[in-house]
């Protein structure tokens, strides 16, 4: 087991990375109070809920089971959890445990951040994507019908438990979605990691335990460094959003849940890569390597056929990362070196998007 310590101004917490951690109950020292609300979904409750509850027999445990899917990441789901917390008289000395992927983690975190102005939360992420990305750093929130992740807060957990055994039940599509975020980390700041991924991508997709744990640890270390330096994304933490401005637009336009987050981010990374080349920041020879690694990870690399530049621009203008109403993007100088580009020319961006090749849709049934 590996432990990463997050030390920021008002919060210090561990990230545990290993196997068998759910059964070992390594999270119990970080539970605050005697009341626990477990938030999970129907699928995960049948797989892991009993195992979790066995380690919590000394506590007063209640469970909220939400429907599965990005389309349920909304204020209605949050309100349903608040209703249950109030019904059972949960007070400030209570703990929420999120048992699920990014949707469950984001909903649970936002719920905990607001209930009685903040109660403790522990994240137990169950997807590869949530283990390497969304469970770390304190971003919480829900989608608005007009834009993704517009309603939320920064709220750090008491602990994050990354049990690699929990992703053994994922399908290939979900694994690839998580790999997209891992590739992103290598692109923004670690060329050696990118080369390792090129060489070992089949091992990662097959969940080879040694390379899987290495990739999770590496990704968490990279994200932790950015979070520690810039908790609330005022500056360099924005680099972690490579591909996300375009990716969120795809998710929103195609309807929440029709594209997995990692699938949309993969296409977003390709758009950012091509824009970086067009602006003379990235050498064209890198395009093939990036595209090849994403494709070999069974990820899409083409813009959806029915999305035009006007569809992107409408949604991009609502993006939280924009500054003074100017489009702000994360672009590449090289593989392993990213930068923040402010005030992107809208006409230039439209011309590039309309010029790029498009395909009908991502294959959804792998």
How do residues 12-55 score in pLDDT, each as one tens digit?
999 999 999 999 999 999 999 999 999 999 999 999 999 999 99
Q: Confirm whether 364 is domain-assigned.
A: no
Burial of 358 (0-12, 13-18, 19+ CB in 10 A): middle
Averaged pLDDT for residues 283-296? 97
pLDDT at 149: 86
Q: Are 270 and 89 in contact (CB under 8 A)?
A: no
**What percent of the chain is modeled with pLDDT above 70?**
97
Beta-carbon neighbour count of residue 76 at 10 Å? 9
Q: Are 214 and 345 part of one and the same domain?
A: yes
pLDDT band at 364 (very low <50, low <70, confident <90, very high): very low
Point out the domain boundary residue: 139, 167, 195.
167
* Alpha carbon distance 314, 21 (integer Å): 44
Q: Are 150 and 206 part of one and the same domain?
A: no
Token digits of residue 291: 């595209």
Q: Are 8 and 231 in contact (CB under 8 A)?
A: yes
Annotated binding-site residue numbers for NAD(+): 68-73, 102-106, 126-127, 139, 148
Q: Are 44 and 6 part of one and the same domain?
A: yes
Q: Are 191 and 334 in contact (CB under 8 A)?
A: yes
Annotated binding-site residue numbers for Zn(2+): 181, 244, 261
Q: Confirm whether 162 is domain-assigned.
A: yes
Q: Are 196 and 340 part of one and the same domain?
A: yes
Which residues belong to the active site? 117, 139, 181, 223, 233, 237, 241, 244, 248, 261
**What percent of the chain is modeled with pLDDT above 90?**
89
Q: Confirm whether 34 is domain-assigned.
A: yes
pLDDT band at 256 (very low <50, low <70, confident <90, very high): confident
Please list, residue by residue across 306-315, b when 16 or more beta carbons sit within 10 angstroms of its beta carbon and e when fewer do. Answer: ebebebbbeb
Q: Are 82 and 204 part of one and the same domain?
A: no
- For the chain, the domain total comes to 2
pLDDT band at 361 (very low <50, low <70, confident <90, very high): low
Q: Are 283 and 306 part of one and the same domain?
A: yes
Please list, residue by residue across 30-53, b when 16 or more beta carbons sit within 10 angstroms of its beta carbon and e when fewer do. Answer: bbeeebbbbbbbeebbeebeeebe
Q: Are 114 and 217 part of one and the same domain?
A: no
pLDDT at 115: 98
Domain span holding position 324: 172-359
pLDDT at 362 over 60: no
Tokens 């990354």 belong to which residue? Answer: 162
User: Which domain CATH number covers 36?
Assistant: 3.40.50.1970
Q: Are 13 and 134 part of one and the same domain?
A: yes
Q: Are 178 and 132 in contact (CB under 8 A)?
A: yes
């Amino acid at each position: 087991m590996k432990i990463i310590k997050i030390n920021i101004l008002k919060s210090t917490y561990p990230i545990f990375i290993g196997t068998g951690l759910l059964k070992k109950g390594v999270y119990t020292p970080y539970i605050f109070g005697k009341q626990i609300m477990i938030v999970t979904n129907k699928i995960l409750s049948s797989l892991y809920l009993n195992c979790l509850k066995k380690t919590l027999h000394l506590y007063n445990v209640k469970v909220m089971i939400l429907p599965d899917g990005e389309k349920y990441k909304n204020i209605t789901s949050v309100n349903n959890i608040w209703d249950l917390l109030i019904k059972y008289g949960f007070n400030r000395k209570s703990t929420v445990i999120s048992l699920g992927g990014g949707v469950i983690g984001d909903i649970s975190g936002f719920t905990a951040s607001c209930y009685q102005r903040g109660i403790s939360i522990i994240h137990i992420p169950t997807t590869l994507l949530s283990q390497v990305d969304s469970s770390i750093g304190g971003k919480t929130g829900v989608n608005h019908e007009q834009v993704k992740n517009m309603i939320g807060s920064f709220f750090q957990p008491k602990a994050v438990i990354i049990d690699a055994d929990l992703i053994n039940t994922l399908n290939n599509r979900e694994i690839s979605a998580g790999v997209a975020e891992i590739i992103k980390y290598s692109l923004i700041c670690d060329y050696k990691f990118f080369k390792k991924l090129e060489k070992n991508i089949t091992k990662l997709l097959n969940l080879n335990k040694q390379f899987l744990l290495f990739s999770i640890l590496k990704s968490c270390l990279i994200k932790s460094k950015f979070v520690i330096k810039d908790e609330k994304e005022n500056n360099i933490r924005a680099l972690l959003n490579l591909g996300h401005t375009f990716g969120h637009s795809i998710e929103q336009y195609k309807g929440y849940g029709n594209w997995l987050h990692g699938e949309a981010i993969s296409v977003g990374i390709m758009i950012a890569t091509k824009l970086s080349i067009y602006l003379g920041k990235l050498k064209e020879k890198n395009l093939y390597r990036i595209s090849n690694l994403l494709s070999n990870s069974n990820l899409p690399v083409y813009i959806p056929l029915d999305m035009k530049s006007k569809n992107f621009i409408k949604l991009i203008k609502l993006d939280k990362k924009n500054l003074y109403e100017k489009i702000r993007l994360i672009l590449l100088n090289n593989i392993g070196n990213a930068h923040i580009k402010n005030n992107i020319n809208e006409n230039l961006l439209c011309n590039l998007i309309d010029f790029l090749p498009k395909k009908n849709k991502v294959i959804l049934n792998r």
